[in-house]
Chains A and B, each alone.
Chain A
Amino acid sequence: NAGVTQTPKFQVLKTGQSMTLQCAQDMNHEYMSWYRQDPGMGLRLIHYSVGAGITDQGEVPNGYNVSRSTTEDFPLRLLSAAPSQTSVYFCASSYSRGNTGELFFGEGSRLTVL
């Protein structure tokens, strides 16, 4: 089982560049989300989606866009990269939102913005 697949695993960008982090899941989960992980901060929610065509903002959405055209894919776009966006990004999926649903995580995408 592939589970949640993130690409690329590593990326270095210059300030002002744009890029897309890809996330795909093969478990037919309705719920998908993006987090960023910074030292001592835990995980912070960027954006999430409860189904195809539906997205919403999380705790730290500024500078990021998402779309959900299919159940399987949930790409995260950095519009104009800034050094403050240097982080490890995790995509997660679940069969249901929040309360009782187990989250399945990808292995992360490590982004450095110079």
Chain B
Amino acid sequence: AQSVTQLDSHVSVSEGTPVLLRCNYSSSYSPSLFWYVQHPNKGLQLLLKYTSAATLVKGINGFEAEFKKSETSFHLTKPSAHMSDAAEYFCVVSDLGGGADGLTFGKGTHLIIQP
């Protein structure tokens, strides 16, 4: 069975400083991994995805994530936070051993940007 753990329920950073949102996963197969962002009162939007190509994945809005198989991690980073980055972020793992649709969602990390 697969699982995904977002290590922080809330992260607060100052505008202009780096962002790190942590995600660990477990999977019996070769997983695909995703990060989604949800702005207030909106649906989820794909930020980036890893599907067994390059381990460093670049996404929209300056975000990137690195797939580290040895550490079973897929942490999301951004060099410089912007006020518009304030949102909920979800790490998602997908493989053959997942839920009914093959996907398992993390419980989310709420990113707060301090002015």
What residues of chain A have their CB less than 8 Å away from a CB belonging to chain B? 4, 31, 33, 40-45, 48, 56-59, 90, 92, 97-100, 102-103, 105-108
Question: Which residues from B are CB-within-8-Å of A58?
Answer: 99-101
Q: Assuming the A-B contacts A42-B107, A42-B108, A43-B90, are A107 and B43 also in contact, with contact meaning beta carbons closer than 8 angstroms in the complex?
A: yes
Q: Which residues of A lie under 8 Å from residue B32 when comparing CB positions?
A: 99-100
Contact call A99/B99, Cβ cutoff below 8 A:
no
Distance in Å: Cβ of B28 to nearest Cβ of chain A: 14
Residues of B within 8 A of A (CB): 9, 32, 34, 36, 41-46, 49, 51, 90, 94-96, 98-103, 105-108
Task: Give complex CA distance A44, B9 in Å.
Answer: 17
| A-B Cβ contacts below 8 A, count | 66
Pick from A59, A106, A107: contact of B99, CB under 8 Å: A59
Please state if A40 and B101 are interface contacts (CB–CB under 8 Å). Answer: no
Known contacts: A40-B107, A42-B107, A43-B90. The answer to whether A33 contacts B49 by CB under 8 A is no
**Cβ-defined contact, B96 with A99, below 8 A:** yes
Given known contacts A57-B100, A98-B94, A43 and B42 CB-to-CB distance under 8 angstroms? no
10 contacts between A and B (CB under 8 A): A4-B43, A45-B101, A56-B100, A58-B101, A92-B44, A98-B103, A99-B95, A100-B51, A102-B34, A107-B43
Q: Least Cβ distance of A33 to chain B in Å?
A: 6
